[in-house]
Structure 1
Amino acid sequence: MSKLHVRYVRKAIEDRFTDLIDMKDKAKVAEKDYVQAFLSRGLAALAVQIEHPCSDRIAATRIFDGDDDRGLDAIAVEVRSAQPRICLVQAKWSDNMKGGFGETEADRMFRGLNRMLDLQYSKFNSRFQQFVPEIEQAFEVGTPKITLVLALMRTAPLDQNTKEIIEEKLAELNQVEEMVDYKVLDLRDFHRAILGDAAAPRIDARVRLDGFVQESTPYKALYGTMTAADLADLYSEHRRGLFARNIRDNLDLTDVNIKIRNTLLEEPEHFWYFSNGITMLCETIKPVGKAVPGKVGDFQLTGASVVNGAQTVSAIHRAYTADPDTAQYGRVMVRLISLEDCPPEFGDHVTTNTNTQNPIEERDFKSLDKVQVQLRDDFALMLHLSYVIKRGEALPAPEHGCSMAEAAEALAATHSNAQLAALAKRDQNLAGLWEDQTYREIFGEAPNAFRVWRSVELLREVRNQLQILRDGLLWRADAAAFYGDLLVTHIVFRRLDTRFIEDPSYHWPRELVKVPDLVRDALAWSLAAIDEEYGKSSHIIAAVRNTERIERVVRAAMRGLDSDRTAPALGEDYQVAEVETRGRQVNAVTTLITNNRIADGTVLEFRAYSKPERREMAEWLAEEPRRSLATWSNGNGNKPLQWHADEGWYSPSGLTKEMRRLASGTVTSAQGTLRWFVPGEGSLDELALAVRLEEGLDVGSEPDGS
């Protein structure tokens, strides 16, 4: 490709995103730098659209490139799909097709990702803050799939050293399972994206259907059986072009794909029965020679595209490539739908609907197990509660029962084998718990309804207590309370008297009252164990999802609890109250003004510091961007901030207090110097401490005025 194609992409960015992408932070830079920044942000917006189809306006709002972007430029979050997905984009524009991304950029990108995983949201700029509620929702639904997208205006591949660094860092993050992956979008991808459907390859092919049946009303369609060999050949010839209209392409690395492939290699004669089949849209379908329904027929397809079953096609090709002698016996049901006489948007409706139907999962088969049926009956007869075993059934109110999935999660957390808690934490669908061996280990042959329900009650109470604690926690402590619910439940359960948990007359509430203190201590010992065993830069999420790590953490935490020692105090960086107190030891405003550390006219950003603030203020701040901005003045005494929302003058703490009151009605003091940031440099607290340390000054003083 040439610079001509670069110009095409540039024009598309200019046409689509001029006046949509926020460039106010670049108003004072040189014209050349302004243009390059705009084009890079436009490239990031295009990448967002490629990964998460949306309008130009929405794509433009997903950009947070600028000071304190932490090596990332844009984000898209999808929480409606079966597995939540977070897409993080780093973009590099180049007029000369040399969009650079090297070891330094890779290191910054992963440090930014690590900050996000450790819930250090205030380390990101104000543009990022509006996405925090979406990110938190994605993690609350389940462990999301995170894709790092390198949007590079180039055609050359990444250099080997950079690729090795990326792979090494991904390996660290994916010790348990594939949580994070990456992809490179280059000039070819962007050129294709701006061409839209016109860039999709036209696939013309001849296929053979065995035992085909024809539908003619209201639209023309055929269905029949194709051999694995024929489908493998079709994929070999056209590759990913076959999936041009498919929403999800072929998802090469998914567990489903692997299972499909293994079925074809191990039980090819059963493949037709186990597979959901394939749906293809075609511009036209013409018989080749005489085609008799119920017999074998050959058909010429024009404009063919697999819109459902991309995973099946890809898996068939891989299996056939690996072992053609075995895979050749596989067959699969194929539907061919002709768009000749269909309404203009009918093909899009087919694509959407065939990809949004709920697939059958392993847990659906377990709902047929006699063990679950018996539990449902026991809950009703012994406990007078509901036990829901089928997906789609209405869930009871918490006080009136639970689902089979919640029971499985609770039993995994309270099992003597801590590894089961890690398995349950890996996937929001609890996929690892429904495998036959694990399922039997959790439920047993005849589970006791009292034990099941009491385990559920314990898990709920632990989560409730952790949620309360999180309001006062920061960074790794907050992450440990968030990700570590099953780990803490496991430890708490082992500290309770559960000898008679299956006895109907056992006074279980007497044990539940111990939970708040145990949760606090178990969390403290667990975090201390993680920090000691794996270091303070290790990932909390890895410790609670890795079967080996969770066992080591549990052993260390239990030793601490059994020792009768006082639970280790959380570090001051981990607690809101401690950091607030530390911040008040420095008269930050006086220090900064006296030393002229911040230039007059500097625009500062507000960033919510704690979970309660994010919860109460996020929507309010997003409604009006000026609420997050204030201008600094060295000549206004202890009220150096002029708030953009009302032009009034405030101290940092006074303004923070007023903002929270306006946002939620909450009236509370807060150390404003921890929340107001000079973009690219740090918080007022950090800047003041740095000044005093440089000058060897005593850090003890009064807080800034309010």
Structure 2
Amino acid sequence: MAYPVQVRNLKRQLGDRFRPLIDMSDWHGRPDEEQAFLSRAVAALAVKLETACSDEDAARSVIDCATDRGIDAVAVEQRGERHHITLVQAKWSEKGEAGFGEADVSAVIRGLDYLLELKFDRFGSKIDRHAATLEEALNTPCKVVLVLALVTGTDLHPNTRGLLEEEIEKRNLDDDLVGYRVITLRDMYREILGERGERKVDLDVQIEGLGRYQEPFVSYYGTVSAEEVAGWYAEHGRHLTSRNIRDALDISDVNEKIRSTLVREPEVFWYLSNGITLICERARKHGKGAPMTGGAAGFRLEGASVINGAQTVSAIYRAVQQKPGKAALGRVLVRIISLDDAPEDFGDRITLAANTQNPTEARDFRSRRPEQSDLRYDFALSLGLTYVIRRGEPEPSEGAGCGMTEAALALAAAQPSVGFAVKAKRDASALWEDRYYRPLFGGPPSAHRVWRCVLLLRAVRKALDTLKENLTARPASAATHGDLLLAHVLFQTMETGDIDAEGKEAAAAWEARFREVPERVRKTLGWMVAVIDGAFGSKSHISTAVRSADRAEQVARRLYEHALGGQEPPSDTETLAYQGSGGGSRRRPPAVHLIVDAGLIDEGTVLEFRPAFSPERRHLPRWIEENPDRAKAVWRNNKAKPLVWSADGKAYAPSTLVRDMRTAAMGNTQQVQGTLHWHEPGGLSLAQLADIAREMERAAGDPDEID
């Protein structure tokens, strides 16, 4: 079925809103430029739907290019204690029949895998502006959502959906790291209509256990079925929140907890939910029942809007979709306020009040526990330091103390079971649940124990940050994701019998142990990559290994042995001497020599610079945006200086040019491997091309190696 009117209006709106904002310089003048623009605009609109950001930020999120690996846009935002990462795959269709098949699933999953392993060099350069933020988010408890934005009126084929869910499940194991959402033409059309003006929403509501206030303004309260609330969302979508300041259906992972409760325990949902508040222009009797206190009654709410509980509404809708029979049994408290006889600005006052109250979190309840107060006093009297327990209080400086959340993370890493570190990595807020909180703080721990655990975690993270400056690929991913696991391993393999001891002797002993942390982290990190590769394969996700209880336990057991033994980890294969075909060894020929001799790059090919290390991802993208020619160089088959930099027209060796760029952008004169940074149009780095040349040379020297 075609949707000509909807597609035509969507196309017009995409052009009006995003044409001035989306970068199309790489497609300029090509016959399919318009189709490429519309696909990118759909990706931007999907980001806006998922994150409620501005059009400008949505356009900036687009990374679509020839080597986007199935990911057309990326966005990162903080939602509560977790980062939320949106990855979009967009499909435009003039007929409203955009398809998404099993091959597309493979492409987008491959892109997901590259991002989870921090392999930003596998994407086009447009991802560089997001790389530092993505790396930071992936090193914290986070949720990754694959958004399929398809200009179509139909749902995914069951086979495609099944394959997608199967692939996602493989990457989640016992975690909920990855999820997905399908956005169709209907969702996009609602979004563009919403920009022009909100549609008036009239709701039919059936309330049980009715209560009401008559003065000074008419209002009702009672219980509504989850099935009915899901119907509101299905029919009206975002128009339900036209008066809500945040207009924020589905922008927080809080709704995952709401949905989970409704799916698993619908009978207790009423007790655990804060409920929903609606305002309306007028509430009148409609449907079954009379408006008697304590009874059941139906109302027609004219001009209705959800002003508090938007996440509850969307979570109920998704729970009923997931488990319709069970979730529909849930009930939710609803409050209805009629503005029929209220002053003109009263609706705005209610909306403002409902959306500016600070939510209470589980951590807040724990901060009132006596053991937390005792710790605060113990820190002050025993250590002369500050221990912050209330949210909103300023955190002390690094040497002046710590906060309750940092203490919980450090104590989790120090637990005998690695499961605590795994849980903290996945969702730090879970540490306030009884089953985790009691082992951490139930002792209660002494100030000396807490502070030494905090100092150990800080030392591990500082050592990893230092190492990460010069790491790429899997070692960089391990340094990014492995902080809590490595802190756990170090704590379990060091002398800790005096952790609660006071006095100068114990203090000196711990200072000596902290000085050993950088070297121990270096060795253990090297073994961590080798252990994970050996147990789960070199293509497995390191992020999964530290977030999955079963895998992390296997890794930790092996790391205990290596940490206790103190052996040097295996060397990176990139630093090994090149093994010649004659059985002897000699220094590896320079990468540029191999590439030139093999003729792998045509004279005049334009190469692209890609940041390879964390500090470069933080500093160079903005510097390059000031002058895009800084990221381009023309190849010439010269073994000494093969790169003619487009920014100044001079010839350079790859490493010299990268060093000069780092000096200009960062003030860092350290020499790095330049061949990791420059990429040919197909996406391969000079280092990767050199590896191909070596394989060609080996095969040519030994005919038996040729199949």
Compute the TM-score of the two structures, normalised by the length of structure 1: 0.85
Q: How far apart are the structure 2 equivalents of 1:94 and 1:223?
A: 47
- Distance in 1 between the 2:352 and 2:103 partners? 40
Q: In structure 1, the residue corresponding to 2:364 is in which secondary structure?
A: helix
Q: Given residue 106 of structure 2, which amino acid in structure 1 is its aligned partner?
A: D
Say yes or no: does 1:611 pair with 2:610: no
Post-superposition offset of 1:170: 0.7
CA displacement, residues 170-223 of structure 1 (integer Å, 9 cap, x when unaligned): 10222232221111222222222222255757223356584433676xxxx654
Residue matched to 1:665:
667
**CA distance in structure 2 between the partners assigned to 1:425 and 1:623 by the alignment:** 37
Distance 1:337-1:556 versus aligned 2 partners, 3 A rule? farther
Q: 1:356 and 1:537, CA in 2 relative to 1: closer, same or farther beyond 3 A?
A: farther
Give the deviation of 1:426 after TM superposition. 1.1
**Residues 482, 586 of structure 1: CA spacing in aligned structure 2 closer, same or farther, 3 A cutoff?**
same
Q: Report the secondary structure of 2:82's partner residue.
A: coil
Deviates more, 1:378-387 or 1:616-625: 616-625
The 1:281/1:545 distance shift into structure 2, 3 A limit, reads same
Is the contact made by 1:240 and 1:249 (CA closer than 8 Å) also made in structure 2?
no
Residues 210 and 292, structure 2, Cα contact 8 Å, conserved in 1: no
Please say if residues 150 and 185 of structure 2, whose CA atoms lie closer than 8 Å, have aligned partners that are also in contact.
Answer: yes
2:150 paired with 1:152: yes
Asked if 1:504 is matched to 2:502, the reply is yes
- Shift in Å at residue 518 of structure 1? 2.1
Preserved CA contact (<8 Å) 1:235 1:242: no
Who is 1:72 aligned against? 71
Q: Distance in 2 between matches of 1:440 and 1:601?
A: 66
Distance 2:698 2:531 in 1: 35
Q: Cα deviation per residue 1:83-106 (whole Å; 9 max; x = unaligned)?
A: 321111111222233323222221
Change (3 A) 1:214 1:425: farther
Comparing 249-258 with 390-399, which one deviates more in the overlay?
Answer: 249-258
Measure, in 2, the Cα distance between the counterparts of 1:603 and 1:350.
59
**Residue type of the partner of 1:548?**
D
Alignment-derived partner of residue 119 in structure 1:
118
Counterpart Cα distance in 2 of 1:400 and 1:337: 53
One of 460, 471, 474 as aligned partner of 2:472 = 474
Aligned AA (1:107): S
Change in CA separation of 1:607 and 1:489 when aligned onto 2, cut-off 3 Å: same
Structure 1 counterpart of 2:656, from 654, 657, 660: 654
Match of 1:627 among 625, 630, 634: 630
> How far apart are 1:302 and its partner, in Å?
0.9
Structure-2 separation of matches of 1:698 and 1:609: 31
Aligned partners of 1:316 and 1:70: how far apart in 2?
Answer: 34
CA distance in structure 1 between the partners assigned to 2:614 and 2:404 by the alignment: 31
- What is the CA deviation profile of residues 573-630 of structure 1, one whole-angstrom value per residue up to 9, with x for unaligned ones? 5x8x999xx9x94444455456654344433210011123223423322333232123
Give the whole-Å Cα distance in 2 for the aligned partners of 1:17 and 1:426.
36
Q: Select 2:532's aligned residue among 530, 536, 549.
A: 530
Pair 1:244-2:239 in alignment: yes
CA RMSD of aligned residues (A): 3.7
Evaluate the alpha carbon distance shift between residue 345 and residue 630 of structure 1 in structure 2; reply closer, same or farther with a 3 A threshold: farther
Q: CA deviation at 1:120?
A: 1.3
Name the counterpart of 1:554: 556
The answer to whether the aligner puts 1:227 opposite 2:223 as a matched pair is yes
Describe the superposition over 1:498-538 as per-residue Cα deviations: whole angstroms up to 9, x where unpaired: 11211212232233223222222222333322222212211
Deviation at 1:69, TM superposition (A): 0.9
In structure 1, how many angstroms separate the alpha carbons of the residues matched to 2:228 and 2:467?
58
C-alpha spacing 1:418/1:279, structure 2 compared with 1 (3 Å): same
Q: 1:601 to 1:92 in 2, by over 3 A?
A: farther
| Cα distance in 1, alignment partners of residues 26 and 304 from structure 2 | 47
Task: Decide whether the 8 Å contact of 1:21 with 1:60 is kept in 2.
Answer: yes
State whether residues 242 and 306 of structure 1, in contact with CA within 8 Å, keep that contact through their aligned partners in structure 2: no
Report the AA paired with residue 15 of structure 1. Answer: D
Provide the secondary structure at the position in 2 that maps to 1:48: helix
8 Å contact kept, 2:255–2:314: no
CA pair 60-567 structure 1, distance change in 2 beyond 3 A: same
Offset of 1:291 from its aligned partner? 8.7
Q: What residue number does 2:42 align with?
A: 43
Residues in 2 aligned to 1:415 and 1:585: alpha-carbon distance in whole angstroms: 46
> Which residue pairs with 2:337 in the alignment?
336
- 1:368 aligned residue: 368
Within the alignment, does 1:407 sit opposite 2:403 as a pair?
no
Moved more, 61-70 or 651-660: 651-660
Counterpart residue number, 2:440: 442
Please give the alpha-carbon distance, in whole angstroms, between the structure 1 residues aligned to 2:118 and 2:415. Answer: 29
Q: 1:614 to 1:578 in 2, by over 3 A?
A: farther
In 2, Cα distance between the equivalents of 1:499 and 1:40?
Answer: 61
2:26 maps to what in 1?
A: 25
Aligned to 1:255: 257
Residue number in structure 1 paired with 2:678 = 676
**CA 1:238–1:503 in 2, change beyond 3 Å: closer, same or farther?**
closer
Aligned-pair CA distance for 1:413: 0.8
1:353 Cα deviation after fit:
6.9
- The residue aligned with 2:16 is 15
Cα gap change, 1:169 to 1:55, in 2 (>3 Å) = same
Tell me if 1:59 matches 2:58: yes
Q: What is the rounded CA distance, in whole Å, between the counterparts of 1:339 and 1:476 in structure 2?
A: 63
Retained in 1: the 8 A contact 2:122–2:683? no
State the Cα distance separating 1:403 from its structure 2 match.
1.6
Q: Matched residue of 2:335: which SS?
A: strand
**CA deviation after TM superposition for structure 1 residue 326, in Å:** 8.3
Secondary structure of the corresponding residue to residue 554 of structure 1:
helix
Letter in 2 for 1:244: H
Structure 2 counterparts to residues 103-182 of structure 1, below 5 A: 103-140=102-139, 142-182=140-180
What is the rounded CA distance, in whole Å, between the counterparts of 2:42 and 2:269 in structure 1? 46
State the partner residue of 1:516. 518
Contact 1:211 1:294 in 2 (8 A): yes
Which whole-Å CA distance do the structure 2 matches of 1:499 and 1:234 have between them?
56
- Written as runs of structure 1 = structure 2, the 5 A alignment for 1:385-464 is 385-427=385-427, 430-464=428-462
Q: 1:510 to 1:541 in 2, by over 3 A?
A: same
Choose 303-312 or 655-664, whichever is displaced more.
303-312
1:88 corresponds to which letter in structure 2?
L
User: Residues of 2 paired with 1:171 and 1:125: CA distance?
Assistant: 27
Distance 2:697 2:39 in 1: 40
User: Residues 319-334 of structure 1 correspond to what in structure 2 (within 5 A)?
Assistant: 332=333, 334=335
Tell me what 2:6 maps to: 5
> Matched residues in 2 for 1:326 and 1:180: separation?
28
Q: Displacement of 1:677 after TM fit?
A: 0.9
CA offsets 1:416-472 (integer angstroms, 9 cap, x no match) = 122111111111xx2222221221122233322221221111111111112112122
Shift in Å, 1:345: 13
Q: What is the one-letter code of the residue matched to 1:241? A: H
Taking structure 1 as reference, are residues 674 and 694 closer, same or farther at Cα in structure 2, changes over 3 Å only? same
CA contact (8 A) 2:132 2:614 kept: no
670 and 13 in structure 1: CA distance in 2 versus 1, 3 angstrom threshold: same
C-alpha separation in 2, matches of 1:187 and 1:612: 41
In structure 2, the CA distance between the partners of 1:85 and 1:104, relative to structure 1 (3 Å rule), is same
Task: Point out where structure 1 has 5 or more consecutive residues left out of the alignment.
Answer: 700-706
Q: Which amino acid in structure 2 is aligned with residue 169 of structure 1? A: E
Would you say the 8 A contact 1:76–1:87 is kept in 2? Answer: yes
Q: What SS class does the counterpart of residue 43 from structure 2 fall into? A: helix
